[in-house]
C-alpha cells in the first residue's frame, strides 16, 4: 500500500501529525531494558530510568533488517516475562544457487511472466508460482522467489537437502506456450533469418542479457547458420527454455530477509486484544509474534491489524 505521491516521507509526516494531534510523547535514543511487572501485571518500563505505565505494547519487530533497530530485543524481553519464543528463521529472503558464475553473468536481469517449479531431485514438487523474478550475483530474488522461501523454510530437512544439492529450481521462460507451440515459434523465427548465425538469432525470443547463456547451454555452435540447425537441436532449445534449471544451495542471511518467521507463540496471546495471557497489561503487535505470510503487503497488514487491536484493547 503506497501513498498517492509515492513518497515514503508522506507516510512519516501523516504519523507525526497524528501523534501531535493526540498529544503523544515520543522518547528518542532510549534503549528499553525491560518491562517491569508486579503481581503478574505491568507497572512500567525500565528505560532511561523507570517510566510508569499500566499498559505496554511490545512492537519491536523481528530480527531482519537490524539496521533499522530491529535487533531482536523484544524476544529477550518477552522471554524474561515467561513467554515462549519459537525458532527464528529468515523468511521472504533471496536464495543462493550453486551455479553462481551463471547468475553473475545474468545479474540484474528481471524476468516477468515466468513460471517456476521448485522440486526435490526425486521429482517431488515443493512449490510452484508465476510472476516476476530477478537474477543476482549470488542467485535469485524477486517476488515469486521470496514467496517460495516462506514455504521452503518449513520443508522437512530443507537445510540438509540444500546442502546435498537435492533441491532444483526450474524456470519456464515461456509458460504461455506449449513445447509444440514454442518449437513452431522458433522454426518460424529461424525461417525469417535463415542466413544469420545462431548467436544472432534469438533477439525476438529472449532478453539480450539471457541470449549468451542460452546459446552456451544449448551446446550449439554460435557460428552455425540458422538454416543448418537440426530438428533435434531446436527441440533442445525448447527444452532449455521450458526448463531453465538451477540448483538451490541456501537461504540468504536473516539480515537480508524481509521478515522474520517465528516469534512469541500465539497460544500465549489473546487474539482479540493481543494481550498476553501470562501478564496483564502487556500486549504484542507485529513481527514479534509468530505469524508471517507471503510477500504482497500481507505482513504489513498483520502489523496494522495487530497494532490496532492492541491499541484499542482496554
The DSSP result for 185-229, as a single string, is HHHHHHHHTTTSBGGGS-TTTS-HHHHHHHHHHHT--TTSBGGG-
Report residue 143 CA to chain centroid gap.
7
What pLDDT digit, counting tens, does each position of 100-139 carry? 999 999 999 999 999 999 999 999 999 999 999 999 999 9
Whose grid coordinates read 499498559? 55
What pLDDT digit, counting tens, does each position of 243-293 carry? 999 999 999 999 999 999 999 999 999 999 999 999 999 999 999 999 999
Whose grid coordinates read 529450481? 169
Whose grid coordinates read 498483520? 302
**The model's pTM:** 0.86
Q: Which secondary-structure segment (H or E) carries 302? A: helix 298-312
Residues 6+ apart with CB under 8 A from 249: 95, 96, 97, 98, 139, 162, 163, 165
Measured between alpha carbons, how far is 78 from 82 in angstroms, rounded to an integer? 7
Measured between alpha carbons, how far is 55 from 114 in angstroms, rounded to an integer? 49
What domains can you pick out in the chain, each with its CATH number?
A: 31-89+260-312 (3.50.50.60), 94-252 (no CATH)
What pLDDT digit, counting tens, does each position of 210-249 carry? 999 999 999 999 999 999 999 999 999 999 999 999 999 9
Amino acid at each position: 500500500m503506497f501513498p498517492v505521491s509515492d513518497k515514503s516521507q508522506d507516510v512519516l509526516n501523516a504519523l507525526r501529525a497524528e501523534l501531535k494531534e493526540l498529544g503523544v510523547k515520543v522518547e528518542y535514543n532510549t534503549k528499553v531494558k525491560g518491562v517491569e511487572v508486579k503481581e503478574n501485571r505491568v507497572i512500567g518500563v525500565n528505560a532511561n530510568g523507570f517510566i510508569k505505565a499500566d499498559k505496554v505494547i511490545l512492537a519491536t519487530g523481528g530480527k531482519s533488517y537490524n539496521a533499522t533497530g530491529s535487533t531482536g530485543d523484544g524476544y529477550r524481553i518477552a522471554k524474561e516475562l515467561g513467554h515462549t519464543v519459537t525458532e527464528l528463521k529468515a523468511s521472504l529472503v533471496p536464495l543462493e544457487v550453486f551455479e553462481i558464475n551463471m547468475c553473475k553473468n545474468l545479474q540484474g536481469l528481471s524476468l516477468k511472466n515466468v513460471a517456476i517449479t521448485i522440486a526435490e531431485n526425486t521429482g517431488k514438487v515443493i512449490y510452484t508460482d508465476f510472476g516476476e523474478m530477478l537474477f543476482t550475483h549470488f542467485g535469485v530474488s524477486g517476488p515469486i522467489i521470496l514467496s517460495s522461501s516462506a514455504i521452503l523454510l518449513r520443508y522437512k530437512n530443507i537445510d540438509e537437502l540444500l546442502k546435498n544439492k537435492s533441491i532444483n529450481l526450474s524456470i519456464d521462460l515461456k509458460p504461455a506456450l506449449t513445447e509444440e507451440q514454442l518449437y513452431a515459434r522458433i522454426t518460424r523465427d529461424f525461417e525469417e533469418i535463415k542466413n544469420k548465425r545462431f548467436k544472432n538469432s534469438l533477439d525476438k525470443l529472449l532478453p539480450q542479457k539471457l541470449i549468451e547463456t542460452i546459446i552456451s547451454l544449448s551446446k550449439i555452435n554460435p557460428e552455425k547458420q540458422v538454416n543448418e540447425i537440426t530438428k533435434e537441436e531446436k527441440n533442445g532449445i525448447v527444452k532449455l527454455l521450458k526448463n531453465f534449471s538451477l540448483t538451490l544451495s541456501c537461504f540468504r542471511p536473516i539480515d537480508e530477509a524481509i521478515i522474520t518467521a517465528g516469534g512469541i507463540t500465539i497460544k500465549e496471546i489473546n487474539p482479540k486484544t493481543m494481550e498476553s495471557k501470562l501478564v496483564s497489561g502487556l500486549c504484542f503487535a507485529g513481527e514479534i509474534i509468530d505469524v508471517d505470510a507471503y510477500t504482497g503487503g500481507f505482513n504489513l497488514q498483520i502489523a496494522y491489524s495487530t497494532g490496532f487491536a492492541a491499541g484499542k484493547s482496554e
